[in-house]
Amino acid sequence: MNISDPGVIALAPVDGVTDAAFRQVTDELGTPDVMYTEFVTTEGLFRGRETLLHALDKHKTNTPIIAQFFGPHPAFYMYAFFVAAELGYAGIDVNMGCPDTNIVKKGGGAALLLDLPRAKEIIKVLLTARGEWLNGKRLADTDLPDNMKRAVEVIKKKSCIVNLASINLRGCQGSNVMPISVKTRIGYHATQVTEVIPYLIEAGVDRIALHGRTFDARYSGKADWAEIAKAKELTRGTNITLWGNGDVTSITDAKDKMKTYGVDGVLIARAAFGNPWIFKDYHPTFEERKKAMLYHAQLCLQYRPDLD
């Protein structure tokens, strides 16, 4: 399946979980249509923190992977764009939903829901970076610290570069290269769907992934899929794709939600923990589970020998 086809079922970004090893196991045993990386701090990239790049390590695959970034400073997203593009990621995503106190108090993650002009500025930086990329500018031409440029080259040699042009990115307004997306929540204190969705569309995003909870709710209660459906309605007549997220427990549930709420795709996070097969609707034997666990552990050591 193509990244922009209707009916996409994706592995959601999960910090501390969807690292390269987890994605490889999930891809090989479940093959989601799309996967996200864990989020990466844009400021950390600029400050030259090489270890951050482990989150962008990548196995050889044709499954599109979207690189996700967070942070409140629009200017730093330029580096994020060129790093992700250089590494052959299938898109770049802005985290606008993380409720972590350390991130929110600095103005990133869900705090962007309270500062939409800042979110718009971030998207503008990404749109500009994409224009520059299309005109031939590369990571080497930026002033990202040299140690980071070298570290990106090391990862690039290891990973398979997806032929971006081969991915049909329907729903991408300006270009068919590196769609710019946002993953957010339905609101901060209360739902803001009717305010936020038109704002993001106007800002020029290509895709929105919406978790059906507010910041205040964190992970409690139930995801509000009626609000997600409302958001999808607000994208009608535009080229923007809208993926829904929250409490999906199985492929059947994902398909039901797409049908009931009209979204173009669904993200699965927690239900994929320890269950890469969820994307295939396969129920493994005990022996298969054991093998997968050992394989996952081996991959962890392979990707991060420094943590041995």
**Within a 10 A sphere around the Cβ of 244, how many other Cβ atoms?**
28
Rounded Cα–Cα distance for residues 51 and 129 (Å): 24
What is the closest distance, in whole angstroms, from the C-beta atom of residue 141 to ligand FMN in the complex?
29
The site for ligand FMN (CB under 6 A) is made up of 12-16, 38-39, 68, 95, 97-98, 183, 211, 219, 245-248, 268-271
Rounded Cα–Cα distance for residues 126 and 217 (Å): 29
What is the closest distance, in whole angstroms, from the C-beta atom of residue 150 to ligand FMN in the complex?
26
Q: Where are the beta strands (DSSP E) in the chain?
A: 8-11, 34-41, 65-70, 92-96, 180-187, 207-214, 241-245, 265-268
Rounded Cα–Cα distance for residues 301 and 296 (Å): 9
Q: Give the nearer residue to ligand FMN in terms of CB position, either 85 or 248.
A: 248
What is the closest distance, in whole angstroms, from the C-beta atom of residue 153 to ligand FMN in the complex?
25
Q: Give the nearer residue to ligand FMN in terms of CB position, either 108 or 171.
A: 108
Q: Give the nearer residue to ligand FMN in terms of CB position, either 270 or 296.
A: 270
What is the closest distance, in whole angstroms, from the C-beta atom of residue 11 to ligand FMN in the complex?
9
Backbone angles phi, psi at 19, to 5 degrees: -80, -175
- Residues 218 and 188 sit within 8 Å (Cβ to Cβ): no
Q: Give the nearer residue to ligand FMN in terms of CB position, either 15 or 50.
A: 15
Q: Which amino acid is at 145?
A: P
Does the annotation count 160 as an active-site position? Answer: no
Residue from 98, 160, 172, 300 carrying the catalytic annotation:
98
CA dist list (Å): 60 to 21, 39, 171, 263: 12, 20, 26, 29
Rounded Cα–Cα distance for residues 177 and 90 (Å): 8
Q: Which amino acid is at 73?
A: H
Q: Give the nearer residue to ligand FMN in terms of CB position, either 135 or 220.
A: 220
- Residues 72 and 106 sit within 8 Å (Cβ to Cβ): yes
What is the closest distance, in whole angstroms, from the C-beta atom of residue 65 to ligand FMN in the complex?
14
Residues labelled catalytic: 98
